[in-house]
Structure 1
């Protein structure tokens, strides 16, 4: 009987894993005493200040922007990025800012480049040592997957280090203003979500098998404002925030649901079972609706009302890239390279087209054109139209492209890789409209 029990335990451990569970210490705004105010965000129309842009939806204001370029024509500048990271570039003022990791030296950094010519302006070490083991990072992942966020006065980054999640604030010159531990983090495939700005807060998501949570910090002082537990499931989506049904909602997919929280308090508003256990894409708000997709192990693309009612769904899986909505249409490019167009109203499929290659980065839209790059370094540009797939251009960027582009001031900035293996080198590439 003892032998049977021991063998059963070992079998269950091999199936379910032996991840350490750490109870999440929840925190309310009443307990923290942090006041949430309508603090100004000093961002202009030419900035792309966080993951998926100013509204976290991948939409850029119309502006002169090239649709085709080559290595010799249309590229304004290139800048080498040390190390490796999948965090997308952001554009703030005259700076382009990215996070990266030097694995051999175990350093996590934030680096700034001049937006006009790509020269490096400053670099700041956020952490040194404390990297997770290689088995705790997906073979496609890095130790700098998150995109930096900015309120126009500070830069914020969230990084996994020493089995904990840390949020760090820098000033515009790269000087550290504060750093706070958000909580423990037991990685299955590393950490991916990007920080989000809401009023006077910076908010991070931390779904993990040890004990997941959402947490908010005062962006001036770094004081913890609230923390809400989300269960023991590893998922990888960033949160988004917007006004639906007359109230602000903090939305996130993963953990077998789409969930809505009050962004000022962390209080759960509603939760709709759907999609999958693990998702990577960010929920997209489109008018009075929201759309999301994933994941693993289940496959679903879903459209919900602002109250969480399921309006339509299908069995399409768009796991790593996020969706994008424009003019009553939903566009997607799946991990295995199939582009889709659905009606936002009823989910009718308007068209589908195999592009070729595999995709991790998310599409952006400007001037009614969709820009999206694959893992072979090809950037596809096609019309955001429901009539059919109309390709405008296919441009070569480099050997690979994992990150999503940033758009502003008639520039589009990509983070790419060239070469392979030990010879691989990351770069920023700025493509600009002719003056």
Structure 2
């Protein structure tokens, strides 16, 4: 049974929408960053009615239309009493009050069509800026207004991903490039690259951390398992017959993977 439908949020994304919605209490929040319009909106999840809608505030009038689109997913950070919605877009990143849509701050950069979702840990938010020349920015999310010149702790440019999102655990950030499968491990505090390891292959799915391991999934269905830590160590390689582009997820002791033709559940054994 379909409870509600909205057909008035269509945009000119050129390649199609790529951002995922998120839930916040009674609200369904999503990005609308197309070539024609750029805004963020929240709908009542039970009725589909608009709770709030806010236009992106950075002036894009002199930016070519193809450089106005973005495909990233928002991220909630902060406490339950003072939540902050971090929202990467074209040519900049924003933060909003998720209750009302009020803009808290924005940070300008040159970049568009970014896909990776931001991650957060240790009081910092980590954002990928661009598809063609991705940079990773470490941002302090507590500012107000234009924080472009004041709240970036560090940036990294070498071997950053265009599609797979970073993953962070125990103060270490793991990334993998779309082409060539170059895995990098960075110190989340200062951005220093601790190690780099080439897996080969092409990647769209985001890596995940489970226990003391980091899992990387290439488009042909190869999963590489690496030891979590400050040194590169491959623990194993597994293969599925079909390709894999969606990001897997872990529930309990099980790993769920969606290939082009099926859904797999891989369960921990040896108990």
- Whether these two folds match at TM > 0.5 is yes
Contact between 2:13 and 2:33, CA under 8 Å: does it hold in 1?
A: no
2:156 paired with 1:321? no
Residue aligning to 1:398: 241
The total of aligned residue pairs comes to: 252
Deviations 1:336-363 (A, max 9, x none): 2110111111111100111110100001
Which one of 21, 27, 45 corresponds to residue 195 of structure 1?
21
From 29, 53, 58, give the equivalent of 1:227: 53
1:93-132 CA distances to partner (integer Å, 9 max, x unpaired)? xxxxxxxxxxxxxxxxxxxxxxxxxxxxxxxxxxxxxxxx
TM-score, normalised by the number of residues in structure 2: 0.87
Against the structure 1 CA distance between its residues 305 and 287, is the aligned structure 2 distance closer, same or farther, given a 3 Å change threshold?
A: same
1:60-86 Cα shifts (integer Å, max 9, x gaps): xxxxxxxxxxxxxxxxxxxxxxxxxxx
Contact 2:87 2:93 in 1 (8 A): yes
Aligned to 1:330: 173
CA distance in 2, matches of 1:275, 1:343: 24
Q: Does 1:356 align with 2:206?
A: no
CA distance in 1, matches of 2:34, 2:70: 6
CA-to-partner distance for each residue in 1:39-62, whole Å, 9 max, x for gaps?
A: xxxxxxxxxxxxxxxxxxxxxxxx
Residue aligning to 1:186? 12
Partner residue of 1:251 out of 58, 71, 86: 86
Q: Is the 8 A contact 1:216 1:224 kept in 2?
A: yes
The alpha carbon displacement at 1:414 in A equals 0.5
Do structure 1's residue 238 and structure 2's residue 81 form an aligned pair? no
Contact 1:372–1:404, Cα closer than 8 Å, also in 2 = no
In the TM superposition, residue 210 of structure 1 has moved relative to its aligned partner by 1.1
| Contact 2:38–2:55 (CA under 8 A) maintained in structure 1 | yes
CA distance in 2, matches of 1:182, 1:303: 35
Query: For residues 374-393 of structure 1, what are the structure 2 equivalents within 5 Å?
Result: 374-386=218-230, 388-393=231-236
User: Between Structure 1 and Structure 2, which shows a larger proportion of helix residues?
Assistant: 1
Gaps of 5+ in 2: none
Question: CA–CA distance in 2 between the matches of 1:345 and 1:182?
Answer: 42
- Give the 3-state SS of the residue equivalent to 1:181 in structure 2: coil
Q: Deviations over 1:280-299 (max 9, x none)?
A: 00111113101122423433
Q: Classify the secondary structure of the residue corresponding to 2:5.
A: strand
Structure of larger gyration radius: 1
For the 8 Å contact 1:330–1:344, the answer to whether it is kept is yes
Superposed counterparts of 1:109-124, under 5 Å: none
Give the superposition deviation at 1:430: 1.0
| Structure 2 counterparts to residues 335-346 of structure 1, below 5 A | 335-336=178-179, 337-346=181-190
Mapped partners of 1:398, 1:206: distance in 2: 36
For 1:258 and 1:353, the matched residues in 2 are separated by 30
Q: CA, structure 1 residues 335+394, in 2 after alignment: closer, same or farther (shift >3 Å)?
A: same
- Counterpart residue number, 2:211: 367
Task: Note the aligned Cα RMSD (angstroms).
Answer: 1.9
Q: After alignment, is 300-309 or 197-206 more displaced?
A: 300-309
> Is 1:303 the equivalent of 2:138?
yes
On the 8 A contact 1:275/1:300 being kept in 2, the answer is no
Unpaired segments ≥5 residues, structure 1: 1-174, 418-425
